[in-house]
Amino acid sequence: MFLTYVEAANAQKKTGANPADPLTVPIDIARKQQDIYFQSLNQDLPQIFHSYDEVVAGPHGNIAIRMNYPNAQKDLPCIIFIRGAGFWAGHLDSHARTMRSLAILSSCVVCAVDYHRAPEYRFPTQRDEVIAVIKWLQKDQSRLGIQGQQFVLFGESAGATIALSVALSLRDQKDQSIAGLSLFYCNAGGPKPTARAYSQWVWEQYLGHSGPSTDNHAVPLLNSFKDMPPTWIGVGESDPLIADSQDLYKKLSEYSNQVSIKTYPDLPHAFVMFSGNLLPAYEALKEAANISQHFLTKNH
């Protein structure tokens, strides 16, 4: 049964599981609290045909991934899922509902990347790990049951920022591995003096220093967006980071007409995680799944 956002938020509060605040408790405790919150959002998961975990050798150690198959069909296109959670939290179970629903709604295999978290691992670790997974997927397609040398990067929040950094890096290498980007509520503009303390803390963990950054690979909105893949952006009207998504749309539009943005009324940051009981979140995920499928199939 789908609820309004207020109803969904109230139902979540009744579980007693709330997002953690790493500014008030040690990060290991905050991660445990955040895991409980994520677990509360991943009850009664949608059923898919098959899901299993693998390990990929990466430039900074082994990378855990999860392959999610919507059906028994062979040689499906593949979406690479990059989670949010502020670079510092989350894992392969934290966004299980989103990745499973994405597989079902897109009829694509979804490969989720469990990148190493900040602050123990800082940029460019996360970007380099996604690129390593892309190369691994390209080499072992028959066994994996996927097809095509191109992938859609599906990222939300911090994951959208990582996806942009990956796409920019591959663009600079003249690498055509990315068929498109499906991005929810990116956090791509770097730390801002006027931002809330949590947002500034998140960037400090990721970059390794406080204050503004001049690194246009770590902070994608500092870069040029010439020759980027087709991009779809989704963001909630009540998201405190909405300006980043709007700025990204404007910058991409300077060079391409293959970019679109959808603003969802009254929805906050990270609303897609409520897709199990919030109809607008489910519909937004469905829209992103459809455009991801389109990106992957339009050239086949």
Q: For residue 179, what are its two tokens? A: 């068929």
- 55 and 65 Cβ atoms separated by less than 8 Å: yes
- 183 and 160 Cβ atoms separated by less than 8 Å: yes
**Domain residue spans of the chain:** 5-297
Amino acid at 285: L
| Angle, CA 205 vertex, CA 203 and CA 210 arms, to 5° | 60
Q: What is the pLDDT of residue 299?
A: 57
What is the rounded distance in angstroms from the CA atom of residue 164 to the CA atom of residue 138? Answer: 20
Amino acid at 295: F
Domain 5-297 bears CATH identifier 3.40.50.1820: yes
Pick from 141-145, 161-165, 286-290, 295-299: least confident: 295-299
What is the rounded distance in angstroms from the CA atom of residue 290 to the CA atom of residue 7? Answer: 27
User: pLDDT class for 177, splitting at 50, 70, 90?
Assistant: very high
Q: What are phi and psi of 34, to 5 degrees?
A: -65, -35
DSSP annotation of 46 reads P
Adjacent-strand bridge partners of 156: 184
Residue 300 above 80 pLDDT? no
User: pLDDT class for 288, splitting at 50, 70, 90?
Assistant: very high
Q: What is the pLDDT of residue 2?
A: 87
Tens-digit pLDDT profile for residues 41-69: 999 999 999 999 999 999 999 999 999 99
What is the rounded distance in angstroms from the CA atom of residue 50 to the CA atom of residue 203? Answer: 36
Residue 254 above 90 pLDDT? yes
Mean pLDDT value of segment 187-204: 94
Tens-digit pLDDT profile for residues 125-166: 999 999 999 999 999 899 999 999 999 999 999 999 999 999
